[in-house]
Each structure stands twice: as C-alpha cells, then as structure tokens.
C-alpha cells in the first residue's frame, strides 16, 4: 500500500470551508479512482496546518493518479485558501493498525 502525503498551510478563517470541500469532493473522488482506497485529513485549527493522506493499492496506482493530473485537480480546489505551496510526498505504508 502507498500513501500520498500532502502538507499545507491554510487560511485559518477558511478551514471549515476547506474541510467541507475535502469531505464532499476529494475523499469521494479518491475512492472512485481506480486503486484509491481512502483518505485521512488532519488539521491544526490554531495554525492552519493541514495534512491530507490518501491511500492507494500500490505505487503504480498512486503514480497514475499523479501523472493523469488527478492530484493537481484536487489541490487546485484549495488554491484560494492556501498560504504557500503544498509539500507533497509519497510513502510506503509499512504498518497499519486502524
């Protein structure tokens, strides 16, 4: 299993709006995408720091989502709320207990 980890800094006054967009569009889109397993969203409401983690069956499916523009399309939904550029990483899931 692979994970796409995106760390952002958001406008704290628009966090609820961003969470709603994530819940209503990003999370369902990942699950509908071939190889997409699900998502996790973490947020610090005091600082506006957020971490989005999407889970993929394997590295191939994660890269397909990236190369097709899918990932960039999802990030674009938040462009007016972001402070700076997102930090984007891919990591192997080596342990899961949830």
HEC letters along the chain: CEEEEEEEEECHHHHHHHHHHHHHHHHHHHHHCCCEEEEEEEEECCCCEEEEEEEECCHHHHHHHHHCCHHHHHHHCCCCCECCCCEEEEEECCCCCC
pLDDT recorded at residue 48 = 97
pLDDT recorded at residue 98 = 81
Indicate whether this model's pTM tops 0.75: yes
| Segment 25-46, tens digit of pLDDT | 999 999 999 999 999 999 999 9
| Segment 66-86, tens digit of pLDDT | 999 999 999 999 999 999 999
Looking at every residue in the chain, the average pLDDT score rounds to 96
Domain ranges in the chain are 2-92
Q: Which CATH number fits domain 2-92: 1.10.3720.10, 3.30.70.100, 3.90.550.10, 3.40.50.720?
A: 3.30.70.100
């Amino acid at each position: 299993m692979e994970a796409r980890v995106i760390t952002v800094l958001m406008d704290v006054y628009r966090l609820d709006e961003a969470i709603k967009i994530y819940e209503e569009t990003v999370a369902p889109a990942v699950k509908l995408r071939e190889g997409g397993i699900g998502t996790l969203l973490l947020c610090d409401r005091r600082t506006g720091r957020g971490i989005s983690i999407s889970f993929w069956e394997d590295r191939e499916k994660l890269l397909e989502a990236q190369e097709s523009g899918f990932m960039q399309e999802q990030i674009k939904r938040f462009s007016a709320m972001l402070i700076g550029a997102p930090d984007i990483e891919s990591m192997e899931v080596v342990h899961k207990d949830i």
